Structure 1
Amino acid sequence: MSEHAPVPPSDRRTFVAKVSAAIVGGIITLAAPIAGLFPLLDPLRRRSDTRGMVRVTSFAALPEDGVPRKFPVLDTLVDAWNRTENVPVGSVYLQRTGENAVRALHSVCPHLGCSVGYNAAGRGYFCPCHKSSFALDGSIADPKSPSPRGMDPLEAVVRNGEVWVKFQNFRKGSPERVAV
């Protein structure tokens, strides 16, 4: 006959130890994938980059006689994980129209997107690409102009002596002003 050691019955301590080990192992196993979801889903919980008003210049920098001046628009761009300060996103023409009022026009031609210049002699704007001409208020000056609409006005306000513009781009070649 062979002698076998009797099998001890499972007691509560070994049961609790095994259950505790399974729970701790499960938590450790799930912790890494859950922690990995946070950076993956971080862009989804952030607000979308809806552009608000951007400070362009001081009101004192605008000529008092109403002559428009071109200014670069520098904005803070935020993508999924990066924030970049003072990025050139375009340019605008600013014109003093009153004691505390400003007219802002996008400096890009609505025809095909060429850069519009200010013609001081003609007191208006001129696109060198296809000979479109615009009045000081941005309307089409020449009826034969190939531009489908006048220059795009932008919302502008003067706050505490600074000019703020809501900068946005519009679809080119369309008679309707559609923001893109």
Structure 2
Amino acid sequence: MSENQQAPNRRNFVTKAAAIVVGGLISVVAPVAGVLTFLDPLRRKSDTRGMVRIAPFSSLPENGEPRKFPVLDTLVDAWNKTENVPIGSVYVQRTGDDTVRVLNSVCPHLGCSVGYRAATQGYFCPCHKSAFAISGAIADPKSPSPRGMDELTAEVRNGEIWVKFQNFRKGSPDKIPV
């Protein structure tokens, strides 16, 4: 009878050992996968914004009058990725056959939205009456703005306007990125 009892015990041992190994793997793999998923945003590299497509070059008038365009970009926030999110706006002016001047549409004084006036061929901030030339320079010496409008790095690639969009500290005479 002892031989018959040993055979089932051996079978039970292999079954129990396999169950312990599989159970141990499951109890280790699942929490590790959960922790890695939870910590994933911390492992990613920080978002360094590059060039953003603005509009086709052909959408600019040939007479050099600036046009205002929204800046749309993809935002990544922890686990979420949202495309075509408005992050600002710019004025784009044709300055040559394939060159442009791009100005941030925010006033460097307090951050109000600047408008373009075709009649005076310049920009005007309605909040504190800052006036800017078409180049973005301060047009009125009594202007409360500490500096001219912020010019952004831009290039024309394959008939499209690309801009390195960024905002700068308001109220400072220096152009300090934020």
Q: TM over 0.5, yes or no? A: yes
Q: Which residue of 2 aligns with 1:107?
A: 105
Q: Which residue of 2 aligns with 1:3?
A: none
Aligned pair partner of 2:138 in 119, 137, 140: 140
After superposition, give the CA deviation of every residue in 1:116-158 in whole Å (9 maximum; x if it has no partner). 0011111111100001011111111111110011101111100
Q: Which runs of 5+ in 2 are unaligned?
A: 1-5
Q: State how far apart, in whole Å, the 1-side matches of 2:81 and 2:17 are.
A: 47
Q: State how far apart, in whole Å, the 2-side matches of 1:161 and 1:14 are.
A: 74
1:20-169 paired onto structure 2 within 5 Å: 23-169=21-167
Amino acid of the structure 2 residue aligned with 1:107: S
Using the TM superposition, name which of 22-31 and 60-69 deviates more.
22-31
Amino acid of the structure 2 residue aligned with 1:113: G
Q: State how far apart, in whole Å, the 1-side matches of 2:112 and 2:152 are.
A: 18
After superposition, give the CA deviation of every residue in 1:58-82 in whole Å (9 maximum; x if it has no partner). 1011111111111111111111112
More helix as a share of residues: 2
- Shift of residue 89 of structure 1? 0.9
Q: Which runs of 5+ in 1 are unaligned?
A: 1-7
Give TM-score scaled by structure 2 length. Answer: 0.86
- Shift of residue 37 of structure 1? 1.3
Identity of aligned residues (%): 72
Q: State how far apart, in whole Å, the 1-side matches of 2:14 and 2:121 are.
A: 89
Per the alignment, in what secondary structure is the counterpart of residue 49 of structure 1? coil
Per the alignment, in what secondary structure is the counterpart of residue 85 of structure 1? strand
Which protein is bigger by CA-based radius of gyration? 1
- Shift of residue 31 of structure 1? 1.8
